[in-house]
Amino acid sequence: MNILNIALIEFKHTIRDVRTLVFMLAFPIVMMLILGTALSSAFDKSIKISKINVLYTEKNDSSFSSPFQNFIKEAKKQDIYFIKASNGTDGKREVKQNQFDAYVEVTGKGIQFYGSERNSIQASMVEGMLTAFSDKYNLITEVAKEKPGQVRAVLATADGAPGSYVKETSLNADKAPGSMDYYAVAMTTMIALYSAISASYLIRGERMRNTAIRLAIAPINKMEIFLGKIIGGIALNLVCILLVMAFSHFAFGANWGSHLGMVVLILFTEVFLAVCFGLGLSYIIKTDQGTRSILMIVLQLASFFGGAYFKIDNADGILKFIMNLSPLTWAREALTKIIYNNDLTAAMPAVSLNLGIAIVFLMVAIVAFRKREGL
């Protein structure tokens, strides 16, 4: 009972600290809004392609002539324009000079294609459509030789509707975080780690306010005071994290997935890690200024390399090693897999690391706390 009373007192005392509440609530929300809006283009995976221009020449004796002209009409609907070359025009040179995206020669032997290296995406699209067209033409030609009566049936079924030379398939394109989704997770995990700052004053703060002596002589077990303060600190920071989550969802439309229980579990263990880290460090470092300085350096480095301020893609070598040392990295990656891939097993490494490191710092704090005569 004493533990819960002390936890409640700690909760009420901290919640009256306006500076702490503003930092824990307003700071991540403002950063979420600024970074999510300013860096939205970095999360836009769509490729916008404007009009594609293709230069072509066609021999009069080409059996492709009529079908190819029909193909050109269909391609125009897709913003792909075939322009017939005038006499004496060097089509390959025109492509090299970036006047056209591709050059096509249509002869009785088939189609010769030359694509631009500068506009490789556009050239690849045209090449794919031409390949589909030639394959369909060859199929119809062979059917006409063997069973002319079946040509109409082939035309009706080959590749679906007329003109459908290219089929697009999306590979989970929508299951990826947008800028606001990413920074909602990044800022929430970052502010959870910043719980270490308030945790460093859980016991030290009593000594600074000269209330440690009164607590020490009170008819309460020292360990009850210790545990009560830890529970109170964890409870307050977890409430702040949940409020930030709720605000990001309802105000910014951030996606937190359908497994909120697992999401909250990861954030809870991260808060537990941060509280134990801050408390343990306050016993390892003897001075208040030293504790604060080391905490800020560690938290800023963890935030920077953990992807709180900007997304780091395709990291390898020493950079990847440093990133994996940040609690934000393993928490953020686990949350992303749970939210977008429904991979609940991704929570286990993050939860295990958070709890394991937290217990180490908690044991350091407990041993140091027991050795002290007072608090």
User: Residue 55: what pLDDT?
Assistant: 84
Instruction: Name residue, tokens 């920071």.
Output: 237
Closest alpha carbon to 186 in 297, 358, 319, 35: 35
Closest alpha carbon to 33 in 267, 244, 315, 285: 244
Whole-angstrom distance, CA of residue 155 vs CA of residue 162:
8
Contact between 237 and 230 under an 8 Å Cβ cutoff? The reply is no
Contact between 177 and 340 under an 8 Å Cβ cutoff? The reply is yes
Q: H-type helices in 147-221, by residue range? A: 151-157, 179-193, 195-199, 204-208, 212-217
User: Residue 160: what pLDDT?
Assistant: 43
DSSP-based three-state secondary structure for 115: strand
Give me the amino acid identity at 188: T
- Which CATH number, 3.30.450, 3.40.190, 2.60.40, 1.10.600, labels domain 52-157? 3.40.190
In angstroms, the Cα distances linking 78 to 45, 54, 162, 283 are 21, 13, 13, 68
Q: What are 203-209's contacts with CB under 8 Å, separation 24+?
A: 203/229, 203/279, 203/282, 203/369, 203/375, 204/282, 204/288, 204/291, 206/375, 207/374, 207/375, 208/288
Residue numbers of the chain with a pLDDT score lower than 50: 158-166, 170-174
Six-digit token string for 110: 């088939």
Give start-end residues of each CATH 3.40.190 domain in the chain.
Answer: 52-157
